[in-house]
Structure 1
């Protein structure tokens, strides 16, 4: 059994290749996938997550991760998501590789959003705005640029401006990147807006989105969380990576409960987009929204891509 640390995962799981692999994987049906989320005993804020994906006669991928939000406040800070991904041979059940769970999760999540941009964003998109400056933010930039190489400028906004500035400085040798303070103005300029926050209130105002923009919603994985307001959801053509579990996403369930949209507003998922069942963007001025829900099938696809690179 081979082992892959963070550096090995970063070297082998490149975003252009991963996004292409995810697109190809979605041309087939959904593999068997299950997940379990366990809350911290006695009401703590931490969670432990187990995700399992099984592609018959191919691979079984199991991800075991802890989600500990306060890790970012530790000195020194630690990733809020840590764990392991293990891949097994689906014909024998034998383990074949083990990989760092945080690194694989970053790449799975960012690759998913990159796939959304490849399928839905305008091919001539030039300006990317990322909301959030945590561990996932630089991966999102890499993935969106891999999906849309036309991107020439990157903006970063964060509730704590110093963190956005620090990330911009860190990436300055690779991108034309700036930290921004005025979120509404930045949204109005952006061709792609990617939200990777833990916000419990809307940040992106629909009235600020420019015609033709693509909105990538990654946070708000709980019903109580929110990254985009009702006007954004109302204005955009809504897509998801998977319908499995989308009812738990705050950016969807809240406007549904408020009567702003119905579940039929979700036009297609990534499987339907990749299989050509739905054409995706239909006009240059259409606003598209991709809700990154996630799931064990994406961990399986990402692990299979890593295995293919060995």
Structure 2
């Protein structure tokens, strides 16, 4: 079995290749069973483990495990760790261990950008990023594949993290700035992208302006939340999969508050990629995309890495 480290995995997952690959995957026939979710408690520390299989019915089978420990910032560790195993789908033979953190963080950012290509205004050039973890750090490059991103605003609970990411982005050529409050960042951006492990509202609906696109990445469980319920009251709401409305805290609290119904959700990312829904319908529309992740994204990224490594071997 081939071992493919983080450097190689990241190098082979350029967003110019990954975003269109994901678009194709959402149009394809890939089997994705419901993920297994387990609550972990060890030495008084709590976390969540996800087990996510997928296979493409042609050649590949993949299995990802994800461990999410939201208190890891106290230990100066990432909140998320992943592993990914790729197999021959016809025989079950192990093919590669691909760096799971690279797969997870890059496919997550790429999926948000893919949705943004349908939901953000065509001329959207400013991006507000909440969070400074692996996923957050990739969002400007991912969105730049689908929109002309120039200005980037960054907020983080720990200002030093925002300052570090802004420096990196400026070195890449973005016009990046630290903002001291979430409200300040929302006021300046065409696209607002939340990539945190928050369990309390960060973005408030009263701050949203016509034409903005709100991208919600972090909340994948009922107790996790990045917005208040009013964010959905005036918005056209989209999800990556139907599973989102059953488990994402942002959606569940909005449904409970009466600012959203399941029936009012416009479409999934499958619908958008297959051309079954047009996405944004006007420049004044407020759009919201809520993702919880899908194993087909991981499988797609892992295949890109594996096949790319074979070509360069």
The normalised TM-score by structure 1 is 0.93
Alignment correspondent of 1:2:
2
Alignment correspondent of 1:172:
170
Give the root-mean-square deviation of aligned CA atoms. 1.7
Match status 1:59 vs 2:60:
yes
Q: How far did residue 270 of structure 1 move?
A: 0.6
Structure 2 residue matching 1:9: 3-state secondary structure: helix
**d(CA) in 1 for partners of 2:30, 2:207:** 36
**d(CA) in 1 for partners of 2:209, 2:111:** 23
**d(CA) in 1 for partners of 2:191, 2:96:** 35
Alignment correspondent of 1:73:
74
Q: How far did residue 67 of structure 1 move?
A: 2.1
Q: How far did residue 245 of structure 1 move?
A: 4.3
**Partner deviation per Cα, 1:17-44 (whole Å, 9 max, x = no partner):** 1000001111124523332122224674
Relative to 1, partners in 2 of residues 1:81 and 1:183: Cα closer, same or farther, differing over 3 Å? closer
Contiguous gaps of at least 5 residues in structure 2:
none
**Partner deviation per Cα, 1:215-245 (whole Å, 9 max, x = no partner):** 1001122212221222211111000111124
Structure 2 residue matching 1:298: 3-state secondary structure: helix
Relative to 1, partners in 2 of residues 1:285 and 1:29: Cα closer, same or farther, differing over 3 Å? farther
Structure 2 residue matching 1:52: 3-state secondary structure: strand
The normalised TM-score by structure 2 is 0.92
Relative to 1, partners in 2 of residues 1:65 and 1:231: Cα closer, same or farther, differing over 3 Å? closer
Relative to 1, partners in 2 of residues 1:205 and 1:245: Cα closer, same or farther, differing over 3 Å? closer
Alignment correspondent of 1:47:
48
Alignment correspondent of 1:106:
105
Count of residues paired in the alignment: 307
Runs of 4+ in 1 over 6 A off after TM superposition: none
**d(CA) in 1 for partners of 2:296, 2:89:** 15
Bigger mean CA deviation after superposition, 207-216 or 234-243: 207-216
Structure 2 residue matching 1:264: 3-state secondary structure: helix
**Partner deviation per Cα, 1:242-271 (whole Å, 9 max, x = no partner):** 112431101101111122221011110011
**Partner deviation per Cα, 1:140-180 (whole Å, 9 max, x = no partner):** 222112221x1110000112222211221232211211101
Alignment correspondent of 1:207:
206
**d(CA) in 1 for partners of 2:79, 2:18:** 23
